[in-house]
Amino acid sequence: MSPFAHQLSAHCESGVTAQLLTHAGLTLTEPRALGIGSGLFFVQLPLDTLMGAPSTSFRSKPGSIFAKACRRLAVPTNIRRYGNARVAHDELLRLVDQGQLVALQTSVYYLEYLPRRFRFPFNAHNIIVYGRKDGRWLVSDPVLDQAAECDDESMSRARFAAGLLAPRGKAYWVEPIRDASPSRITEAMAAGLRETGFTMGHSPIPFFGAKAIGYLAKRCEAWPKRFAKQPQKALLLLANVVRMQEEIGTGGAGFRYLYAAFLQDVADTFGDPAYAQMSERMTAIGDTWRKFAGAAARLFRGGQATPEAFAPVVETLRGLGEAERALFRELSAQVRGGRKALPAQNPPLPS
Amino acid sequence: MRTEEVPQDGAYLEGKKRGAYAVDANGRYTVIATAGWEAETAATRVALEAADAQIRAAFDDVMRGARSALWYHLAARQLTAAQVAEYAGLWRLRVWWHLRPGPWAKLPVELLERYAKALRVPAEKLKVLPPQPESWL
């Protein structure tokens, strides 16, 4: 197998998926991994926090990008969880010795090569182990510009961290792919678009999809009044939304730029300029998400949490909800070619 | 966002860089490295300040004698009692019991060692409070 070269990505799981598949012989870019794996999503639950974590999310369930992308590309996967850190370590050692790239789900809290202020307890960070040198793992963390190293103890801790989304030692890898047919890629891209178009534009549940952005705006509007006595709490909840959008594994602006890059790719692959136009609109939506984060940051610095101070931020969110709903409904109609909206169907696996 | 507009406000990334997608001069998306964005830093700061406030409150609780030093060490590492119970291989109820000053003072050495390993703090430091509460900022 060819030597592995670390590559910079914007998001951990789509970056890991792209690198694993590319290394196995099926060239895949990061935006394609995200788009095919339907990584873009929006969730706002009717709670402020869920087991201490924010109840807002810009992503689909951790692990689903890899699983969906591989299923749609008909690539067989190996996904293991372990009950015992010793067994997990030995198996990783064996795989790495064979020259296999292995991706791991880890907690950022124990990964000491990361900047200190980002090492909060978050359990769904994906990294690649590509080798071992002097008793230390050689780690390719896709969100950093350089490869890193990690010792055994930290690695075991990171893989067996407790709490929400506990990784339980999860390791996944792809064996070399012999026949990568290009026709699969277009089918897979369409399947990814169908699912994202449906879940974002047509979700029947108001806590999921673009409608939930409007719901977040409504909740956000109420925070200054609800926490009139403790403005810091209202600001913390808003800060959590911004952190979910920018920092906690969404590749910036809550995946919107990455998805715009995917739509640009779709326009070229399908030869359909309608997608290029949607890509531009998606870029504008990403810019608005950034504007929202910038306005929120000014609120944090001011330390003020009054309904008047929150009003522009709430308005921006509401506008985003409407713009995204319209865009994803159009996207859904475009990819279905006029057929009725139904949940995405996956192409059957060849036997 | 265009590549030249990608923010490069380094502070919290400690000189490391992350990836971001932006449109280049030809209108094509590419990945480029960013040193961080100050709006993101501001949001992180709010969250770290909240963590610090929680650590200070825990420090005061222990100083007042309402809780054991373990309560402070959990807050300082932003861990819950349930998480440390899993790391130390103890029942949650036992961890809860050890959050009380009396039982904590009488803790057998082998149990203290288990907590020390779980929290990655030397046992002699675990028993007492540091002179100042720690800060995540």
Question: Over pLDDT 90: what percentage of chain A?
Answer: 55
- Identify which of A8, A293, A296 has the shortest CB distance to residue B19: A8
Residues of A in contact with B40 (CB under 8 A): 242-243, 246-247, 293
Q: Tokens for A186, please give them.
A: 């277009």
What is the model's pLDDT at position A9? 87
A165 band by pLDDT with thresholds 50, 70 and 90: confident
B116 Cα to chain A: minimum distance (Å): 14
Q: What is the pLDDT of residue A343?
A: 54
Structure confidence at residue A199 (pLDDT): 93
Local structure of A43: helix, strand or coil:
strand
pTM: 0.89
pLDDT, one tens digit per residue, over A288-329 is 999 999 999 998 888 888 888 889 999 999 999 999 999 999
pLDDT tens by residue, A91-122: 999 999 998 999 999 998 999 888 887 788 88
Q: Do B21 and A252 touch (CB under 8 A)?
A: yes
Establish if A286 touches chain B: CB-CB under 8 angstroms. yes
pLDDT at A1 over 80: no
Chain A residues 37-66 with a CB less than 8 Å from chain B:
52
For residue B86, list chain A residues with Cβ-Cβ distance below 8 A: 162
Average pLDDT, chain A: 88
A42/A49: higher pLDDT: A42
> For residue A187, what are its two tokens?
């089918």
Identify from B18, B30, B52 which residue to disrupt to test chain A contact, counting A C-beta atoms within 10 A and taking the largest count.
B18
Mean pLDDT across the stretch A25-40? 92
**Which residue stretches of chain B have pLDDT < 50?**
none
Q: How far is B123 from chain A (nearest CA, A)?
A: 18
What's the confidence (pLDDT) of residue A318? 93
Q: What is the ipTM of this complex?
A: 0.85
* Alpha carbon of A298: minimum distance to chain B alpha carbons (Å): 8
Assign residue A115 a region (left: φ > 0; alpha: ψ between -120 and 50; beta: otherwise): beta
Please list every residue in chain B whose beta carbon sits closer than 8 Å to the beta carbon of residue A235: 46
What pLDDT digit, counting tens, does each position of A180-223 carry? 777 788 889 999 999 999 999 999 899 999 999 999 999 999 99
Cα Dmax for chain B: 70
Long-range contacts of B92-100 (CB under 8 A, 24+ apart): B95/B70, B98/B68, B98/B70, B99/B67, B99/B68, B99/B70, B99/B71, B99/B74, B100/B67, B100/B68
